Chain A
Amino acid sequence: MSVEWLPLLHRGLLVLAALAGFQGLLREVSPIRKAAAWMVLQAGLALLGLSLSPRPPHPDLSSVPVNPLTHGLVLSTLLVSLGVLSALLMLGRGIRPQEPEKEKRKPK
């Protein structure tokens, strides 16, 4: 059975995750949820980028099975993302969520 569609499905899901994160970034009112949405966007885009580069071509690496930069890049991205997320959560904890717009409130 051919599994050529699997990477495509994988990337499609990651694009959807990134789009969901972007939508959450714009639509959510709670700062904590906004920070979570940013994490979803970051994870979606970074994993999408990673899925595109199983073995990046470079003439100097023709004899090496894996480009050593990939590991460093993944680890650094993870550390930076966690650092920014914790800063966002620390900042967001002290902010009151924005009031929902009046016209969107349901009448009692």
Chain B
Amino acid sequence: MSTHLPVLIPLFPLAAALAVFLLPGALSRLAALLGLGAGLAAALFSLHLFGAAPWVYNLGGWPPPWGIVLAVTPFTGFLASLFLLLSLFGWFYSVASASLSVREERPGKAFYSLLSFFTGVLLVLLLARDAFTLYLCLESALLAAAGLLLALNARNRTESFHLLLYGSAGASLFLFGLWLLYAANGTLNLDDLLSQLFISRNFPVALTAGFFTACGMAVPLLFPAPFLSGRLPVQTPPAVLGALSTMLSRGAAYLLFVFFFFVLDVPGLAIPRWLQALEYLAAAFFLAGFVRAFRQKDLRHAVAYLGAAQLGYLFLGFAVGDKSALAGTLLEFFNQVLVTAGLFFIAGNLRTSAGPQPVSRLAGLARHRPLTGLALVVFLASIAGVPPTAGFFGKFYLLQGALEKGDWAALALLSLSLAFNFLYFARLTAFLYEQRGPSLAYGPPSAALKAPVLALAAGVLLLGLFHHAVFQRFVEPALPKAFQNVPVPNVPFLGHEVE
């Protein structure tokens, strides 16, 4: 029985999605309970497994490279647990905001079915070691996300259509990259692909496939930046949108990490200068989102930009690519999941009507709502890299990596964005603690709605305080083998003699 545990993590939400879908429409409460139960069960298995990782499971008993493998490493197990936590928070907010009369309709069974499905496919995306399964998960996640947005608000039809259309166009590019790899190597197993690419030394295919893979992820990564998603941040409950977008964008970023460093990073491969320049341009494009975020007048737009802008740090880590930079990138993964979701949850908690949420109304918020204000300060501090938050240590390792490699372009981009973010962190903190009358501040969120935000803020601080343990337990085993003093490349299945 215990050998089947890894598959149970995604299986519970996927089975719940089907069960909820088959329920009669009137039983929406039972649907909600089924979704909750499946999420909790999957979270328990995930927590159990990442403590005892690594686990490898062959679907249907088919061994690799032909069968589909699910691998639970400490890193993916922990990330899966965070995703499940966000999914449960999304479930909680969808129920709580409706029962607390925030002028939102109680979601029906379609919402719970799609949320379970979305969570299930993203968990498979984290665990699967098969390229086509990853494409399938990406398409399914986009489909479920589009359906969820429509289930949350019928006015989101155009935005849902665009997310699915452009996301699927990106997925087509990703699929083309996979076809190229398959055509050159005859396999779809990620570990086997690396082995075959190394044996054939087919560097042009690796570079081309990497280019198409990266292009294919643009839409999920940028979701829900307002220039791409239209009125989505305004028309959708921010807390649920936060859970969705954080899982989708960070899942896509993790997919890129796996492809760049575990499939296409063939020893001896030299990345051309124009491709390196593109990497820095992509990172700079995302980091420029900070400027756009702080220029927004509406809180939900600002939070949506902040969510996408933080991905710039991950891309800088990918571009630098040494041990310290990648360690910082992986720490940033955990940090960004908590911070991005936390910011959306705060925007959701402060939402008392369907109207605009001006940033100017945050003045004096921390004096009248001290816990919410403090959580907001913690999240902003983590974005700006202020100790002892997890963001500080992630960015510290990134800076160290850029310095060790002598990568001045990355160092300049990092320093600039950190200085800018620190300046705005200081200004916003002063703004939050301004002396203002309570009438200007947002209304009080209930204690129940505050709990997830405080839990995420505490998580950001705990990750920072125990960063050394997190690094040793989760981050270091997830680094490419080259940084673990293990011979490269890893040829686990075929037994070929590799020099």
A interface residue numbers (CB < 8 A to B): 22, 25, 31, 34-35, 38, 41-42, 45-46, 48-50, 52-53, 56-61, 67-70, 73, 76-77, 80, 83-84, 87-88, 91-92, 94-95
Q: Which of B164-172, B353-361, B412-420 contacts A (4 or more CB under 8 A)?
A: B164-172
A38 CA to B169 CA in the complex, in Å?
6
Quick one: CB contact mask for B163-206 with A, threshold 8 Å, 1 for yes? Answer: 01110110011011011101111111000000010001000000
At the interface, yes or no: B157 with Cβ under 8 Å from chain A? yes
Q: Is the beta-carbon distance between B175 and A45 smaller than 8 angstroms?
A: yes
- Taking the closest CB of chain A, its distance from the CB of B110, in whole angstroms, is 13
- Contact flag A49-B186 (CB < 8 Å), given A69-B66, A84-B139, A91-B157: no
Choice from A46, A67, A68, A91 contacting B161 with Cβ under 8 Å: A91
Q: Is the beta-carbon distance between A50 and B143 smaller than 8 angstroms?
A: no
Report B-chain residues with C-beta under 8 Å of the C-beta of A46.
172, 175-176, 179
Q: Is the beta-carbon distance between B169 and A56 smaller than 8 angstroms?
A: no
Q: Is the beta-carbon distance between B160 and A91 smaller than 8 angstroms?
A: yes
- Taking the closest CB of chain A, its distance from the CB of B458, in whole angstroms, is 39
At the interface, yes or no: B456 with Cβ under 8 Å from chain A? no
Q: Is the beta-carbon distance between B494 and A38 smaller than 8 angstroms?
A: no
- Taking the closest CB of chain A, its distance from the CB of B163, in whole angstroms, is 10
Report A-chain residues with C-beta under 8 Å of the C-beta of B183.
49, 52-53, 56
At the interface, yes or no: B273 with Cβ under 8 Å from chain A? no
- Contact flag A84-B169 (CB < 8 Å), given A53-B179, A56-B186, A94-B157: no
- Contact flag A57-B186 (CB < 8 Å), given A76-B136, A84-B164, A91-B150: yes
A45 CA to B135 CA in the complex, in Å?
14
At the interface, yes or no: B153 with Cβ under 8 Å from chain A? no
Q: Is the beta-carbon distance between B187 and A91 smaller than 8 angstroms?
A: no
Quick one: CB contact mask for B129-170 with A, threshold 8 Å, 1 for yes? Answer: 000100110010001001100100000011011001110110
A61, A73, A92: which has the most chain B beta carbons within 10 Å?
Answer: A73
A88 CA to B158 CA in the complex, in Å?
11
Could you tell me the dominant secondary structure of chain B's interface residues? Answer: helix
A73 CA to B66 CA in the complex, in Å?
12
Of all chain A residues, the one with the shortest Cβ separation from B154 is: A94
Listed by A's residue number, 7 A-B pairs whose Cβ atoms lie within 8 Å are A25-B166, A57-B200, A59-B494, A73-B182, A80-B139, A92-B161, A95-B158
- Contact flag A42-B182 (CB < 8 Å), given A31-B161, A73-B132, A83-B143: no
At the interface, yes or no: B496 with Cβ under 8 Å from chain A? yes
A25 CA to B164 CA in the complex, in Å?
12
A22 CA to B169 CA in the complex, in Å?
8
Q: Return the 3 tightest CB-CB contacts between A and B, nearest first.
A: A49-B179, A56-B186, A58-B186
Choice from A22, A42, A53 contacting B168 with Cβ under 8 Å: A42
Q: Is the beta-carbon distance between A48 and B176 smaller than 8 angstroms?
A: yes
Report A-chain residues with C-beta under 8 Å of the C-beta of B146.
87, 91
Of all chain A residues, the one with the shortest Cβ separation from B188 is: A69
Q: Is the beta-carbon distance between A67 and B186 smaller than 8 angstroms?
A: yes
Report B-chain residues with C-beta under 8 Å of the C-beta of A77.
175
A41 CA to B496 CA in the complex, in Å?
38
Q: Is the beta-carbon distance between A91 and B164 smaller than 8 angstroms?
A: yes
Q: Is the beta-carbon distance between A52 and B164 smaller than 8 angstroms?
A: no
A34 CA to B165 CA in the complex, in Å?
8
- Taking the closest CB of chain A, its distance from the CB of B161, in whole angstroms, is 4
- Taking the closest CB of chain B, its distance from the CB of A8, in whole angstroms, is 16
- Taking the closest CB of chain B, its distance from the CB of A75, in whole angstroms, is 11
Report A-chain residues with C-beta under 8 Å of the C-beta of B173.
45
